[in-house]
Structure 1
């Protein structure tokens, strides 16, 4: 992993590796300055946010905002009080109100939510990973509400700055993949490799989501972001799966000249979790499997193997769904208990893979903690001789993403035309994402082998 650290250090020490796409200089009123350090960085890295030049004890509001590709605005704000030197340091000081209170160094990034004029159950999706998120940050006099910040009568900011957060490190390649039936995007780290290869899948949102794979490639993994419905010529809706499709994806990775051919890893979130377990159960080349809030059995959609079919477990009728305010659905207890249908549980004991279950304790979509423990019990009962582990994160919700992804506790889901509750609380969820990201990468490296791109390391060192 030395080369990964070199990449991170190179970026921090030499901002020219991440040139700002626009001249994002800070604008100030009088002597007030708003500083974000580094001003341009990778999406999974923390920053330091400071205000200088205020009056001692002055109360201010820090505000951040950005827009997704649809033009929907997301924002966060927090209230601070300057110290005796007229400074605010978000890293060490406590917010007195706003989106969060107390000490939360990355709250102005991770805490972004739909702006007051945007539908409150809008989820932020990063679709254009080749372009960074541009975070517009400002500091205002006084403690303002979110409505104040968008009022026509709002006074000008004391200072403003644009901060850029990149998903792709310098030299990462984004390669569209059309291999047989496979529809995907491959992200390759800089250098010659060979790199550990992983298949990366999400859930019922559908389409092709690339943001995690782009970040994995920025940390030394060759990652294949794999679509399985609602993309190009794939089925428009979820249909029964066939192991052959996923075998093709693994075959593509293993044949690539820059990818380690001794085996691959699989990462799956939600519905992608049971697909990852299905791949591990029936594809011997899968050597490491990471399940993020998934189930031990196929959910709603069955899975065809070479010699049979595994039927799904289903959500019970909607009468059992707990419908709360604004028709938000709490699905956690509504999925049929897989233990009542042993023939539907995936035969992970036949796998050739190590298993890591990343579990959010406050997952309100699936009882993922129970399903992970069921998986462990199956492996223990069968004297499974490969490593397996469960990491649980109290206060985290279903959407356990890479660090500093915007926290979302509920969002409209087009595939079901409803608003599932995902769960979690802002601070605990954010902390869980930081820890889970480190654990995921360490686990994959341990079981897939380290990255071999010394040439890339030397090139990066020469730029320091």
Structure 2
């Protein structure tokens, strides 16, 4: 077996510190020609659970490994996958592997250690006390908040959440010291307050209000139905903020929060742009009350769920028929919002492709005047986050007390998230800022909600 001394091996990770949505470049030099090595990434997440990923490489004739250009021969992924060590992070053995990674403390970066080990090692070997010291290791930090981003807890009337404002001198977007385009960011059935996407949007020049909807602060612990009045108050808070452009605000949400986003776009005139990700177009599980009208939900019958050979439930089989769902569909054609529907082609939770196409057909049949489009991503699963979030194929859901299959693979999920993240930013910046500032109608744009403020 080819071996080399630790002193000869140089592991390079560039950059050593970056934002979470940025890629890194990993290279190893000083190995023997054709030497087998294992690259490993490890970290401790906010709850104290150790995470790891690993991949097997073979050095070239010069004793070098370039992860950007060379194939992994095994481990947690195979083939060329430059960000595989980050996108494939999972709880280390013997911890339960299929849990969803959620960054809870956005002020604290991910501290990832990347190391190179001799030979092609298994996960169990890498985690055992018998594993030998690595040839080399490098400390790498991944930040959710760019320098200068402001994190502001919000208590405004009944509304609870956290507002993230971009740095005062955000030169990349030429925004200066604001005001900034702004969005409401929601996560549905998770409850509590989830801030990581808002922190990342603010790092890219978009003010983002991470909105709690239940089980946070003095909000109800459980939810029976939603009332549009709560979200109207959140929109009012944003539009009146001195650092927010008043051309209208955006909304973004995944899964259940996706149908909430569509509800806001439908019933609140000042919502100008909506990004809905892997969601239903009808209220799921919880209905929406709009003044004296109630839009009823549909419910999953979890007893109809199909289980995979690995014991994970695919709840798509619990979903009512398309014709039934169309009867409950939200009247989104009554909106004046631009819509972007993000769809994962192998979503194992929501038939999101069908839902998004149904929405597009409905808008088209009503000759909808605003922009609307569907972006579909092959190989991606239901849980769709900003780039380089560790992929979760399945996880335990307390709401149904079962492990749920979400679908997708780390490689395709990462590729999809990189592309979608850029599209989401372009979509919000255009519809919340650029089309008003640079159109011929800038001096007198049609903004009917202004009279309501």
Normalised to the residue count of structure 2, the TM-score between the two structures is 0.91
Aligned with 1:280 (options 245, 258, 265): 265
Task: Let me know the Cα RMSD of the aligned residues.
Answer: 1.5
1:254 and 2:231 correspond: no
Quick one: distance in 2 between partners of 1:343 and 1:252? 33
In structure 2, the partner of 1:226 is 211
Question: Structure 1 residue 29: deviation in Å?
Answer: 2.3
1:63 and 2:40 correspond: yes
Q: For 1:311-346, what per-residue CA distance to the aligned partner results, in whole angstroms no more than 9, with x for missing partners?
A: 001112x33110234541101131223532545211
Question: Structure 1 residue 174: deviation in Å?
Answer: 0.5
In structure 1, the partner of 2:21 is 44
Question: Structure 1 residue 238: deviation in Å?
Answer: 2.8
Q: For 1:260-300, what per-residue CA distance to the aligned partner results, in whole angstroms no more than 9, with x for missing partners?
A: 01200000100000000100110000000000001100001
Quick one: distance in 1 between partners of 2:360 and 2:225? 26
Quick one: distance in 2 between partners of 1:223 and 1:338? 34
Question: Structure 1 residue 188: deviation in Å?
Answer: 0.2
Q: Which moved more, 1:331-340 or 1:428-437?
A: 331-340
Quick one: distance in 1 between partners of 2:326 and 2:13? 53
1:239 and 2:224 correspond: yes
Quick one: distance in 1 between partners of 2:192 and 2:345? 27
Normalised to the residue count of structure 1, the TM-score between the two structures is 0.89
Are 2:247 and 2:433, in contact at CA under 8 Å, matched by a contact in 1? no
Question: Structure 1 residue 33: deviation in Å?
Answer: 1.5
Count of aligned pairs between the two proteins: 424
Quick one: distance in 1 between partners of 2:233 and 2:82? 43
1:344 and 2:328 correspond: yes
In structure 2, the partner of 1:32 is 9
Quick one: distance in 2 between partners of 1:172 and 1:372? 34
Quick one: distance in 2 between partners of 1:363 and 1:235? 30
Kindly report which structure 2 residues correspond to 1:111-122, keeping only aligned pairs within 5 A, or say none.
Answer: 111-122=88-99
Q: Please, which runs of 5 or more residues in structure 2 have no aligned partner?
A: 169-176, 437-453
1:308 and 2:285 correspond: no
Question: Structure 1 residue 230: deviation in Å?
Answer: 1.6
Quick one: distance in 1 between partners of 2:289 and 2:152? 29
Are 1:61 and 1:144, in contact at CA under 8 Å, matched by a contact in 2? yes
Quick one: distance in 1 between partners of 2:82 and 2:264? 39
Are 1:78 and 1:98, in contact at CA under 8 Å, matched by a contact in 2? yes
Question: Structure 1 residue 201: deviation in Å?
Answer: 0.8
In structure 2, the partner of 1:373 is 357
Q: Please, which runs of 5 or more residues in structure 1 have no aligned partner?
A: 1-27, 453-464
In structure 1, the partner of 2:126 is 149
In structure 2, the partner of 1:457 is none
In structure 1, the partner of 2:202 is 217
Q: For 1:383-419, what per-residue CA distance to the aligned partner results, in whole angstroms no more than 9, with x for missing partners?
A: 1100100000111000111000000010112333221
Are 1:288 and 1:353, in contact at CA under 8 Å, matched by a contact in 2? yes
In structure 2, the partner of 1:462 is none
Quick one: distance in 1 between partners of 2:412 and 2:308? 23
Quick one: distance in 1 between partners of 2:78 and 2:209? 39
In structure 1, the partner of 2:100 is 123
In structure 2, the partner of 1:360 is 344
1:413 and 2:397 correspond: yes
1:292 and 2:277 correspond: yes
In structure 2, the partner of 1:78 is 55
